[in-house]
């Protein structure tokens, strides 16, 4: 079992390496060196860079997801914060294939956390009358897919006629209309 402080320093070092070199050019040796620990300390916890970067993304996205309230405005804030997050920007720029499993093949830890967060919030909203009737788990999935699209794909539609802020307003409108009667 890796101590929390070693895990945090390794994840911090991994973030620095990915920001500097990209995912493909980051090695566990680079991470160990930057964290000031032995390679074996890193290898005991992570067998490869892929698993280390998965844990790094989970930590970083968790911090973003939990920093905003579960409201339409909070969800838009999460989408914007993720879209502007330096780690996500670097991955999208240098190593977008890193994200393909989470878009095409399977649900990642952060996506599951977001689904749980949204399902609870939608259920509470239904109980207090601020969210329309419907199955909260299915609704949470629709919101997640929408937010994921606005987060990962907005760069291809932003131009002089539609800014990222304009898209955020549209996302807020889309979510508000979807979630309310």
The residues, ordered by sequence, that sit 6+ positions from 160 with a Cβ below 8 Å of its Cβ are none
Provide the b/e sequence for 26-51 (b: ≥16 CB within 10 Å). Answer: bebebbbebbebeeebbeebbeebee
- Looking at the structure, tell me whether residues 89 and 24 fall in a common domain: no
- Looking at the structure, tell me whether residues 30 and 109 fall in a common domain: no
Q: pLDDT (tens digit, 9 = 90+) per residue, 145-165? A: 999 999 999 999 999 999 999
Determine how many CB atoms are found less than 10 A away from the CB of residue 150: 23
- Residue 38's CATH number: 1.10.10.60
Residue 72: burial class (beta carbons within 10 Å; 0-12, 13-18, 19+): buried
Q: Which domain holds residue 90?
A: 53-179
- Looking at the structure, tell me whether residues 78 and 160 fall in a common domain: yes
- Looking at the structure, tell me whether residues 22 and 83 fall in a common domain: no
Q: Which of 14, 32, 47 is the last residue of a domain?
A: 47
Structure tokens at 95: 């190593």
What's the sign of the alpha-carbon dihedral 51, 25, 149, 129?
Answer: positive
Question: pLDDT category, 4, cuts 50, 70, 90?
Answer: confident
* pTM > 0.85: yes
- Looking at the structure, tell me whether residues 161 and 116 fall in a common domain: yes
- Looking at the structure, tell me whether residues 117 and 148 fall in a common domain: yes
- Looking at the structure, tell me whether residues 57 and 137 fall in a common domain: yes
The pLDDT of residue 68 is above 70? yes
């Amino acid at each position: 079992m890796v101590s929390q402080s070693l895990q945090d320093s390794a994840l911090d070092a991994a973030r620095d390496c990915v920001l500097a070199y990209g995912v493909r050019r980051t090695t566990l040796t680079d991470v160990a060196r930057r964290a000031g620990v032995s390679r074996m300390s890193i290898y005991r916890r992570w067998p490869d860079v892929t698993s280390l970067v998965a844990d790094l993304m989970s930590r970083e996205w968790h911090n973003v997801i939990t920093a905003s309230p579960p409201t339409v405005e909070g969800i838009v804030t999460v989408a914007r914060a993720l879209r502007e997050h330096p780690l996500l920007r670097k991955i999208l720029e240098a190593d977008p294939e890193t994200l393909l499993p989470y878009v095409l093949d399977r649900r990642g830890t952060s996506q599951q956390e977001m689904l749980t967060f949204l399902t609870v919030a939608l259920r509470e909203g239904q109980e207090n009358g601020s969210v329309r009737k419907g199955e909260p788990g299915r609704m949470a999935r629709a919101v997640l897919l929408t937010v994921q699209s606005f987060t990962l794909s907005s760069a291809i539609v932003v131009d002089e006629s539609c800014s990222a802020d304009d898209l955020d307003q549209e996302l807020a409108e889309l979510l508000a209309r979807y979630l309310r009667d």
